[in-house]
Every structure is written in structure tokens, then in C-alpha cells.
Structure 1
Amino acid sequence: MVRSSCAILLLCLGSLISVGIEAAAIDSLKAFIQETRTVRANFSQTLYDKNARTLQESNGTMQFERPEKFRWTYEKPYEQLIVGDGTQVWFYDRDLNQVTIRQFNIAIGSSPAALLAGSSTIEDNFVLTELGLQNEIEWLEAIPKNKESTFEFIQMGFSPEGALKIMALRDSFGQTTVLSFSDLDKNPALPADLFKFIPPDKADVISE
């Protein structure tokens, strides 16, 4: 994906695990998906190595429209863009003027985008487990059923009111990315061309 987002997850995992917890976070995720057709939000992202050292911090905006349309814009420290229209996903690095195009089902089958913007039921792609309450956030863990997924697991944190606050992911190399959301707007009107992408002139285009 982008420079800082091919790896990802939450630190201090053991402190989150609890036994016998009601399905608060899973219910919040299912309600979020059922009740939300479009979303617009700001995000901050931190990438950690396997020793919990910070590798990079970035921020930007994200929008999605169910089913299977999304747009992630990284503004700092590098300007990058990820756009999915349900058929293809474009990864654009402005500094390199490079566009990578991937088939949609291959690019996001077991990714965070599949959880948020996918058209299938959650359990089709993930095994969900409650992790309990930590600092007034209800946590769940989603393990991809596809063993070829680039992620070992994804964690999501919801407020008691059911608002999505945090996503955290870890890759097979042990690197962790934590995404914190703010100013999340549910069901805003989004323009259709938001989920279309035309490579800029003279961009290096790579199809995978």
C-alpha cells in the first residue's frame, strides 16, 4: 500500500484480552456496517517496528461508500492516495509520480477496507473475537480467514456509543500500524467522482 501502511497493530495486546465479555464491540461493528452507507473522517497513523519503536507518523482523510468504494488520502509526511472503485485499486505516490493498479478483490480481500467498505458479511472474511474494555474503548480482533492475507490480524476499538475510534493492524513481519479516527461523519453525501482515478500525465503506471 503506501510507504507506511503495508504493516500494522495494537501494542500491549495482552492487557486487552478478557474472558466472558459480552459482544459489545462485535455488535458495534455489525451495527456500524449495517447503519452506515458512507463515511468521511480524518485519521492519524503511526507505524511501529516489532520492538515498538516509532518508524513513521502520518495523517490524512478517508472516505468510503458501501459497497466497495473508498478513498484514503495521506497528506503528511508524504502525499499519497489510495482509491478503490470496486473493480480496481489505484495506489498513487505523488513524490515518485508513480501509480500502481491492482485488481480490487486481490488488493483488499482481507484488508481493513474489506471490513469497512466490503459488500459481504464480516464473517465471510474474518473470525471475530471480543477483547474487552480498555480505557473506555470496546475492542475486537478480526483474524483474516485467507491465510495469504498480508495482515496477521486487525483490531478495532469502539466508544460506548458505538463510534469507531481506532483500527490497529499487524503484518507478518511484526510491524504494527495504529489508525486513530476523528471528526467521523456517518452517511454524508459524497460525489461519485471521488472514487474514480485517472493517472496524472507522465506518471509511471504499473499494473499488477
Structure 2
Amino acid sequence: MIKKLIIYVTLSILLTANAYAVSAKDIIKQLDTIKSYTANFTQFTEIEGFGEDEYSGKMYINSGEKAYWNYEKPYRQFYLFDTNTMKYYDSDTRQLVVQTLTPATNVFMRLMLNPADIENDFDVKLKGNELILTPRNDLGVETISFIVVDGLVKGIRTKDQNGNNTRIEMSNVVSGEKLRDDIFDPEIPEGTEIFEYN
């Protein structure tokens, strides 16, 4: 749940922060100017009492259409979103979960498609180069902070109510023209078990 939450909010913020301005409202207004976003990422997740896990991979976004968050290490996983559906693949379990997105249960996908909703669900403030979001309702996290450098998101930090922390560092960040459709069509290995939820 926390991993999905981080991804949803990140998709929204990445698409707004490239044209970074002096206020949170200015950032939110920039979504329509960003056509795509790609970055390598390393994610560190610390679960209290269990130590820290490290993941890495690459993310791709076509604004308002599709997003692909591809974990390459320590093993293959991915999240693939379009306007109606989320797909989650796990190579360790050889399972693909397909879930219909609804506004009531997937607030963060709604944020990606309509960033004006950010201020409906979060208290937002800027502190230096950090954009800090505090949920107004129980979403499983206390705060989400985005580190913005030279107009690009270079880092993310989250903390949940149980004291667990996630840190994401981004590199080779590029925004530009719309990405090819085949990027958002990852191969699903033969024999994968598929679960569909509506």
C-alpha cells in the first residue's frame, strides 16, 4: 500500500514540478506544459524493526495518459497505469494484478490526471527546495516531501504513522516530448498468473 501511495503522488508531482515556480499553486498550474518525464531511481525503504531494503529501476510518464514505474533490482516488479487501470507485476510470485481505478479508492491517480485536486486532499507548503504534502485524511502516511533542484524533482521522502520511512533518489531526470507507446507495453512472461479486480 505505501509503495503504491508513493508512486501515485510522485506521478502527480513529477508532472508539475519541472516548471518550478515560487508557490505550490504555481507548481500545480504547470501540469499541462509537461509532456513526459523519465528518470532512474533508487528507493530505500526502512521498516521499523526490520532494517532497510533497497530497490532501483526507471520510471516513465506520458502526462495524463500512462505511467510505468519499473523496478529492476533486487528483482523485477512494475506498476503500469492508464486512466482506467493499474497493473502490478511481480516476477518473484509470477503474478500480475489488474485493478480498475476509481476516484474513491485511487486518490493519487486522480491527482496525476487533475493536479488541482492536490489541494483538496493535502495541505501543501514550500520550505526551501522542499514541497511538503500533509494528508487531510488518513492515507497511510504522515508527510510526503519532494526535493526540487533546478526545476526537477530529484528526491522524495515519506514517513508513515508507524515510523516507517521511504527515501527515493532520482538521477538522469529528463522531461520532454511524448514517449513511444511501446515503452508502456512491457512483456509479461508466459505462465504468469493473472488476477483481475473491478
TM-score normalised by the chain length of structure 1: 0.73
C-alpha RMSD of matched pairs (Å): 2.9
**Which amino acid in the other structure matches residue 178 of structure 1?**
R
Residue 93 of structure 1: CA displacement? 0.3
Distance 1:54 1:25 in 2: 36
- Give CA-to-partner distance per residue, 1:30-83, whole Å, 9 cap, x none: 3653432210110110011247x7420111000111115200111111111110
Residue 174 of structure 1: CA displacement? 2.4
Residue 201 (str. 1) matches residue 190 (str. 2): yes
- Give CA-to-partner distance per residue, 1:145-166, whole Å, 9 cap, x none: 4x3523333111111x222111
Residue 165 (str. 1) matches residue 163 (str. 2): no
Distance 1:100 1:164 in 2: 29
In the other structure, the counterpart of 1:43 is: 41
Q: Residues 59 and 75 of structure 1 are in contact (CA less than 8 Å); yes or no, is this contact kept in structure 2? A: yes
1:55 aligned to which of 37, 52, 55:
52
Count of aligned positions: 181
Q: Aligned pair in 2 of structure 1 residues 192, 119: CA closer, same or farther (>3 Å)?
A: farther
Unaligned runs of 5+ in 2: 7-20
Q: How does 1:57-136 map to 2 (within 5 A)?
A: 57-105=54-102, 108-110=106-108, 117-121=112-116, 122-130=118-126, 132-133=127-128
Residue 196 of structure 1: CA displacement? 4.2
Distance 2:23 2:147 in 1: 7
Q: Aligned pair in 2 of structure 1 residues 154, 32: CA closer, same or farther (>3 Å)?
A: farther
**Which amino acid in the other structure matches residue 186 of structure 1?**
S
Distance 1:107 1:42 in 2: 28
More helix by proportion, 1 or 2?
2
- Give CA-to-partner distance per residue, 1:63-115, whole Å, 9 cap, x none: 111115200111111111110011110000012111112222366423xx665
Distance 2:5 2:64 in 1: 25
TM-score normalised by the chain length of structure 2: 0.76
Distance 2:85 2:186 in 1: 10
**Which amino acid in the other structure matches residue 150 of structure 1?**
G
Q: Aligned pair in 2 of structure 1 residues 114, 154: CA closer, same or farther (>3 Å)?
A: farther
In the other structure, the counterpart of 1:12 is: none
Q: Secondary structure at the match of 1:156?
A: strand
1:181 aligned to which of 160, 170, 176:
170
Higher relative contact order (CA 8 A, sep 6+): 1
In the other structure, the counterpart of 1:5 is: 3
- Give CA-to-partner distance per residue, 1:117-149, whole Å, 9 cap, x none: 33341323322022x23xxxx11211234x352
Q: Secondary structure at the match of 1:193?
A: helix
Percent identity, aligned pairs only, is 23
